[in-house]
A and B are shown apart, each in its own frame.
Chain A
């Protein structure tokens, strides 16, 4: 069962571009990426699109479909009306390379800045013991497929290029939370790093990152807000402060690492 649908695809590069119209065949059970591939094979061999697994697992084919950030391989054609035009554009927050491909190196640069997992000094490989309940929170964040759509949709940098230097973005906030909640990470300054170096305070928790996450990671509720709260634990909480005064610090394992 195939129909002809109308597509508009942004074609261009860093010198400019425009939405280009295509009429293209669509079959039952296809996703937008299938259609982009059909365009490549039949009408536009040099149409640039980044993709790999076509299974929602690698996070390569991020784009914007009818103005909404999404993975091309996970946007089913049956979510559109038969006479609805489908508009596909590259993600807006990052510099364009060509057509649907953008330069996402911002995310890799930010990832380099966050201190890596620091193994405990007293444990050799094979001696690590962790309980499932203790690893589960971090495991949620490690589901991240790095499609960078949370970074793309975040208005802090999407609408304010000048914030890119000071702001690491949701992808890196979940990395910070993952490491801070890791049962065996030896560093104790991840909260401070998130606040001072990653620009956690820029986030106004409007939750678009969570809305677009294809892995359904609760970025805001489970990572960003807990990190904000953990910063408060260290900086502003009256009870913690009082506790520190009254008890010895080592009795407060719960608050810190």
Chain B
């Protein structure tokens, strides 16, 4: 239409209050901020620790360091993927290499985007509360245009998920070298399940498995997959948080055991 641009906008209702919301609309963005910030703090500390990520006795590998792909990895912590990266400079840890992938997956995730746009950028902090920015272009241009690479990260996240599943399988390792289960095994498995629930519920995944089709009726299997992914996708927010907590929990647990805490053994 031509008229929207040519004529100056007619005035809106002159309401003095910036928002008339009377509920505690600031609570959700605040909690989200604290949750995400807490995670970032933990992750930052953790990737600089560069130690205590492998429990050789039970084959526990901390998720933040999996897969461990550098020559500087603790013996035993590198597995079938080997160590394509050389000895790293002392300020750098193997976690930094691999965390780009799950980190990027979460950073470009449609749910996390909502949560940090709201809680960090306040754009907007809550519905019907002004975003307070002078100008807004959203994801139309660089750098936020790059959010569209989410799908690449999804492909990578599937690989990472596979590795974590492999790690969890390895963690059935007893003191005597045979089969064993400890609390760490349970935690690692729980984490893997939640990671998969989050990864497969991804909006990109939903599109790829079937969402992009126009005629579901001609692709019954992909329609079924789309339906299943849709069920996870409905709870994407829930799994985003649960898997974030679980990955921290699993990592911290391995860290603690590696640093000397006793693992609670269930079997061997």
Inter-chain CA distance A199–B145, complex, in Å, is 12
Inter-chain CA distance A226–B140, complex, in Å, is 17
CB of B88 to closest CB in A, whole Å:
29
CB of A104 to closest CB in B, whole Å:
12
Contact B148 A236 (CB under 8 A): yes
A residues at B contact (CB < 8 Å): 10, 12, 14-17, 19, 64, 66-69, 84, 87, 89-90, 92-96, 102-103, 106, 109-110, 112-113, 131, 133-134, 153, 155-156, 158-161, 163-165, 180-183, 199, 201-208, 211-212, 220-221, 225-226, 228-233, 235-239, 254-255, 257
Answer yes or no: B204 CB below 8 A from chain A CBs.
Answer: yes
For the A-B complex, the count of residue pairs with Cβ-Cβ distances under 8 Å equals 178
Contact with A along B142-162 (1 / 0, CB 8 A): 001100111110010000000
Residue in A closest to B203 when the chains form the complex, CB atoms:
A225
Complex contacts, A155 vs chain B, CB 8 Å: 123-124, 130-131, 136
Inter-chain CA distance A238–B9, complex, in Å, is 43
8 Å CB interface, B189-217 against A: 203-204, 206-207, 211-217
Inter-chain CA distance A201–B216, complex, in Å, is 27
Contact A164 B127 (CB under 8 A): no
- Pairs A–B under 8 Å by Cβ, sample size 13: A12-B13, A67-B20, A67-B22, A68-B21, A155-B136, A160-B133, A164-B4, A164-B9, A181-B214, A225-B207, A226-B207, A229-B211, A254-B219
Q: Known contacts A163-B136, A203-B138: does B216 contact A233 (CB below 8 Å)?
A: no
Contact A206 B114 (CB under 8 A): yes
Partner of B19, one of A16, A67, A106, A207: A67
Q: A164-B4, A204-B114, A238-B152 are in contact. List 9 more A-B contacts (CB 8 A).
A: A19-B15, A67-B19, A95-B12, A201-B140, A226-B211, A228-B148, A229-B206, A229-B212, A232-B204
Inter-chain CA distance A188–B132, complex, in Å, is 38
Contact B212 A113 (CB under 8 A): no
8 Å CB interface, B104-156 against A: 110, 113-114, 117-118, 123-124, 127-128, 130-133, 135-141, 144-145, 148-152, 155
Contact with A along B1-41 (1 / 0, CB 8 A): 10111000111111101011111000000000000000000
Residue in B closest to A182 when the chains form the complex, CB atoms:
B214
Answer yes or no: B77 CB below 8 A from chain A CBs.
Answer: no
Answer yes or no: B258 CB below 8 A from chain A CBs.
Answer: no
Give the most central of B5, B131, B141, B219: most A CB within 10 Å. Answer: B131
Complex contacts, B131 vs chain A, CB 8 Å: 155, 159
Contact B214 A183 (CB under 8 A): yes
Contact B128 A67 (CB under 8 A): yes
Q: Known contacts A16-B14, A68-B21, A159-B130: does B1 contact A109 (CB below 8 Å)?
A: yes
